[in-house]
Amino acid sequence: MDVVRTNARYPNFVAFIGTGVIVGGIVGGLISTLSDNPATTFSENSALGYMVVTFAFLGAILGALAGVIADIVITRRDR
């Protein structure tokens, strides 16, 4: 009796989300730093912090979405 085992490969969602957070934070920092509009309501450091946190959150969402799409593609391919 032969038993055939296949290794199931699934994406690492923590890696996708973490990468999204890092890339989003960098993008938010660059946008805040390179922006020509002066911060009138907040200090420059506060504006930088808000942009980094906002874009890191958006990056986490996009990273999670990319992980789900990768999981769907892998699952369909393995059928």
What are the pLDDT digits (tens) for 31-46? 988 988 877 888 888 9
DSSP calls for 31-56: HHHH--SPPSSS-HHHHHHHHHHHHH
The pLDDT value recorded for residue 63 is 96
Tens digit of each residue's pLDDT (9 = 90 or more) over 2-57 = 676 666 678 899 999 999 999 999 999 999 889 888 778 888 889 889 999 999 99
Write phi, then psi, for 18 (nearest 5 degrees): -60, -40
Q: Give the mean model confidence (pLDDT) for residues 46-75.
A: 94
